[in-house]
Amino acid sequence: MAEPIVEFRHITKKFPGIVANDDVSFTVNKGEIFAVLGENGAGKSTLVSALFGMYEPDGGEILVRGKPERITSPRYAGTLGIGMVHQHFRLVSNYTVAENIVLGLEPVRRVCGIPFVDMRKANRDVAALSERYGLKVSPDDVIEDMSVAAMQRVEILKMLYREAEILIFDEPTAVLTPQEIDAFLQTVKTLRDSGKTIILITHKLREIKAVADRCAIMARGKLVSILDVKTASTDEMARMMVGHDISFTTEKAPAKFGPVVLDVDGLTVKSAAGYEAVKGVSFQVHAGEVFAVAGVSGNGQNELADSVAGLAEVSSGRVILNGHDITNATVREHITAGVAYIPEDRHNVGLVLDFTLRGNFPLRLYDTPKYSRKSIINYKEYNEQSARLQEQYDIRSSQGGETIVREMSGGNQQKAIIAREIDMKTPLIIFMQPTRGLDAGAVMNVRKYIIAERDRGAAVLLISLDLDEILDCADTIGVIYSGKMSKIAPAGELTAEVIGEYMMGVGKTA
């Protein structure tokens, strides 16, 4: 018989101008993987943040192990055995793995009566915990030198070190590669099998089908339904989540190629670590063409995109835009020449997190006559642009254009970047992992935007780890492996299997 461990009763939470949770009630049973599914801005994160003590509900109550609890802080949540891995990790970047995991609960030894942090014991404890749960980390590694997937393992170990029994994961795969996602889902199953209760906040249907036992579906703050995942189809879940059927194929007319807009010739780019990440890459993108770059993460995609956008220095080769050499030109010169860029790193590159949403939209063109004259900002244009883009791209925020971007969900932050860059109407637009962190409905909308940009005559450079996205959108596909273009061909001539072979370096001409 199922044993309830967490119960939400009539939870309501309001922010200025928005009801994030509207009378939400459901029960999570001990030892299950319970998924909460919904679009970006559906209220999922707000709900679990109340369980973790980051918000107090305006109405309703939360029961833990059958007892009503007023969870006033994450520290108090920890005393109840509740842990949480946030979408954006909360680690001290210049500390080691062990220092982060034991922070606040450091083992202490005494020398001549004086207490010292016993880091030897901390390292041993972390190594043992890592081994027990199959979460491979090195206690001595420094956080800032680690991959995103490794940082996530550290966050999980932080919870386990504190003996958490109820583990909350908020959009845990939003920044992981497909290979890392599979490893994470196996970790979740292992944790469930060891007796933990998992609450998984996501909008990814495949992941829910792969690991979850039950699923609560939320839309615009309300609970829509609770489903048994084994018997529910992904189509049914998607329909409940967005309120209508979703087609996972983008309709598009045949491409009409115009002249060459982007000509990349013999491009070589070094990584931040100093090695050659892009090695003599050449390709062209025409007006009215989606040129998609497929590849396993870490094969030079980031450096390729950044160099074309002006963010990374080109060691050799040329970047030509509409006949003009923009190799190693400044970012401002790239913008003036007509380059729009949706970067992979939305926080450090795409947005100014402490600006308002309204202030982020004109960031690329703030010094043009449309937005300012003689250093005087045209706030009327700022307001009109903000209102227009929020409506057009369904960007949800608690206070409209006055919302501080840091306070928005990751998916809505991403939609804001996409809206801003498309609104520039440039001859070249670079989409780098554009749908990472977006729900199913938003993913299909972004793919429609990509095709719409192509159809207006823009040259589109799409770089994605999602092979389905590549096949759905591309007119031409280039496969990058170990920094080199191992294959370039019309999309209609390549199957997923063939692309996969080139991605792994085993294609016939790789």
* Same-domain check for residues 121 and 267: no
CATH of residue 431's domain is: 3.40.50.300
Which tokens sit at 244? 């209508």
Contact predicate 454/429, CB 8 Å: no
Q: Is residue 326 part of a domain?
A: yes
List, for residues 397-433, the tens digit of each pLDDT value: 878 889 999 988 878 899 999 999 999 999 999 999 9
User: In terms of residues, how long is the chain?
Assistant: 510
Contact predicate 70/56, CB 8 Å: yes
* Same-domain check for residues 208 and 82: yes
List, for residues 196-230, the tens digit of each pLDDT value: 999 999 877 888 999 999 999 998 899 999 999 99
Least confident of 84-93, 258-267, 276-285: 84-93
Say what the pLDDT of residue 148 is: 77
* Same-domain check for residues 280 and 326: yes
Q: Whole-model pTM above 0.75?
A: no
List, for residues 424-452, the tens digit of each pLDDT value: 999 999 999 998 777 777 888 899 999 99
* Same-domain check for residues 142 and 51: yes
* Same-domain check for residues 150 and 268: no
How many domains does one find in the chain? Answer: 2
Say what the pLDDT of residue 272 is: 81
Can you say whether the dihedral through the CA atoms of 248, 251, 256, 259 is positive or negative? negative
Q: Is residue 409 part of a domain?
A: no
Q: Is residue 368 part of a domain?
A: no
List, for residues 164-181, the tens digit of each pLDDT value: 999 999 888 766 766 778
CA distances from 374 to 359, 378, 386, 472 (A): 18, 10, 22, 45
At 257, which amino acid appears?
F
Per the DSSP assignment, residues forming a β-bridge with 464 are 294
Structural domain boundaries enclosing 228: 4-242
Q: Is residue 352 part of a domain?
A: no
* Same-domain check for residues 287 and 233: no
C-alpha triplet 41, 16, 436: angle, nearest 5°? 20
Give the pLDDT band of residue 510 (cuts 50, 70, 90).
very low
